[in-house]
Structure 1
C-alpha cells in the first residue's frame, strides 16, 4: 500500500503481482484504521466453523487420493492434455512420456551413436537425466520459485516428477495462476539444449529459468486477455446519497464513482460508507439510513461479518460511533429510485469524459 495511506500502490502491484492485481484492487481496506483480522475463506461470513473445517480437510484428503497413481502410469488426459500450456508443449510432454523424443539414449537404440551424451555434463542423455537429474537441470529446480520443488527434483522418473508438479504451487512474484511452472521449465531446458547443440549458443541455468518464467507469464497473460471471465470481473460503478429532513425536503445530495468494483454487494457497502463519511463531514448526528441493500442492512444491524466486506463494515461501525442516534432500514428498490438514478448519472458523466 502507499505509505501512510489506505490506498493500494497500483504501480508496484502491477509490477510484482500482475496476475493477482485485479483481485487485490477489489479488496477494500478500512479507511478508519481498523486492524486486520484472520478470515476463513471456505465460509461466506469468513468465520471458522468445525463443519467447514471438517469438509475442507476431507476434500483435501480426497484430492490427494485422486492424485495417487501408480508411479509408472501416466494419465494422458489429466497429466498432459488438460495441462494449461500451449498445444506444442502438450505434444512435447506426450513425446517425452511415449519415449519418442530424439534424446541421446533413444538415438543410441536406433544405431546413431554419434554425439549422444548430455551436452551439459557429458553423461548419458536420458529423459530423467536431462530434465531432472543433470547438474544443469538440478540447479534450475533448486532456484525455481515453486513451493514443493523438492518433490520434483527428488523424483525417480520423469512421470513421477510430472505428477508431483501437479500438487506444487508457484510462488510470487512470478504471477502465474494457471497450472505449474514444471512444463515450461522442461520445455526451456530442451530449447536451451538444442540452442547449444545446433547454434552453439549457451545459456546458464539462471537465464534458462528466467526464459521459462517469461514464456509462461506472457502466454498466460494472453489467455487471460482473450478470456476475461478467467479473472475477477470488475467494473466502474456510481455511488450516490441523498439527505432529507423530517419533511422529506432534500438538504444535500451527492455522487461519485468507484473503480474495481467486483460485486453489487461491495458497491452497496461502499455507498453506505460514503454516506456516513458525508454525514460526519456535515455534522449530522441523528440519522435514519434507508437502503435497498438487504444483506448489508441486515449485517450492520446484527453485527455479522461478510468476508469480502470486512474493512468496509468495520468503517461503518466506527463512523456510527460519531452519531448520537441512528437506524438502518431496508427499503424496496422502487422506493430508492432517486439515489439509483443519481448514481447512474454520475457514472454516465464519468464515462463520457
Structure 2
C-alpha cells in the first residue's frame, strides 16, 4: 500500500491545528477543553463508594473491571474517542441514532430498556429512574452481566447473562477439603511377644477354601 505517489515518509501531525504542527499553546488549550467535556446526562457523584459498589460486589473480576471502565469513561465510546482526538464527528447509537454514551447504551436505549424489563430480577428495575450511571451501578451491579454482547437479541442476552451468572456462582462453591491420610507407624512390640500371621484363599469354581497361620516370636 502506497498512499503517497511521491514516496514520502509518513510523519506525525497535530490534528487540532490546520498546520499539523504541535505547539505548547495548542496543547494547553486542548487539555483544558478535554477537562471541561462531560458526557451528556452523566453526573459525577463524589460520594460514590467504589469499594462497596464495584470492588466488593459478588461477581466476576472481569465484570468489576468493566464497571470501573464505564465509570471512568474508559470505554471506546463516542465521547471518549472525541476527547482523545480520534473522531471529528459525534458517534450515534447503531440501534436508535441517539448519542453513543454509556448511560444511553446501558440504561436509556430502547433496546436496553427491553432487556431490563424482561430480566427476571427480584425487584423490577426501571432504568429511566436513574439520574446517573453511578446510581444504576450501585443498585444493579450484581446484574451487570447483562451489559455483555449487546449484538445479540434481547432474549438471548438475558439467557446468556443468567447462564453465565449461574455458572460463575457454582464455581464459587467451597470445595471439599481433601485430608491426606498419614500411614500409622508400626507399633513397637515387646521382645517376648508372639505374633500370629494368617492368610486364606478361596476358589469360586469349586467352592473350596484354604487357611494358614504361623506364630513367630522375636527370634523368628
* Superposed counterparts of 1:19-98, under 5 Å: 73-98=47-72
Max Rg structure: 2
8 Å CA contact retained: 1:152, 1:164: no
- In 1, distance between residues paired with 2:128 and 2:49? 21
- How many residues matched? 133
Q: Quote the offset at 1:144 in angstroms.
A: 1.0
Q: 1:3-57: CA deviations, max 9, x gaps?
A: xxxxxxxxxxxxxxxxxxxxxxxxxxxxxxxxxxxxxxxxxxxxxxxxxxxxxxx
Secondary structure of the residue aligned to 1:146 is: coil
8 Å CA contact retained: 1:118, 1:124: yes
* Superposed counterparts of 1:293-312, under 5 Å: none
Q: Quote the offset at 1:159 in angstroms.
A: 0.5
- In 1, distance between residues paired with 2:175 and 2:47? 33
8 Å CA contact retained: 2:117, 2:126: no
- In 2, distance between residues paired with 1:88 and 1:149? 25
1:148 corresponds to which of 102, 120, 123: 123
1:212 corresponds to which residue?
A: 161
Change in CA separation of 1:114 and 1:211 when aligned onto 2, cut-off 3 Å: farther
2:84 corresponds to which of 92, 110, 114: 110
- In 1, distance between residues paired with 2:118 and 2:62? 25
Q: Quote the offset at 1:164 in angstroms.
A: 2.0
8 Å CA contact retained: 1:72, 1:159: no
* Superposed counterparts of 1:1-353, under 5 Å: 73-111=47-85, 112-113=87-88, 116-150=91-125, 152-165=127-140, 180-181=142-143, 183-186=144-147, 188=148, 191-192=149-150, 202-224=151-173, 226-227=174-175
Change in CA separation of 1:114 and 1:204 when aligned onto 2, cut-off 3 Å: farther
Q: Quote the offset at 1:165 in angstroms.
A: 2.2
Q: TM-score, normalised by structure 1?
A: 0.35
Change in CA separation of 1:151 and 1:123 when aligned onto 2, cut-off 3 Å: closer
Q: TM-score, normalised by structure 2?
A: 0.54
Q: Quote the offset at 1:97 in angstroms.
A: 0.9
- In 1, distance between residues paired with 2:70 and 2:176? 33
Q: Quote the offset at 1:116 in angstroms.
A: 2.3
- In 1, distance between residues paired with 2:101 and 2:66? 15
Change in CA separation of 1:161 and 1:146 when aligned onto 2, cut-off 3 Å: same
In structure 2, list runs of 5 or more residues that go unmatched.
Answer: 1-43, 178-220
Task: Report which of the two has the higher share of helix.
Answer: 1
Change in CA separation of 1:213 and 1:115 when aligned onto 2, cut-off 3 Å: farther
Q: Quote the offset at 1:154 in angstroms.
A: 1.8
8 Å CA contact retained: 1:74, 1:159: yes
1:197 corresponds to which residue?
A: none
Q: What is the root-mean-square deviation of aligned Cα atoms in Å? A: 2.4
Q: Quote the offset at 1:220 in angstroms.
A: 0.8
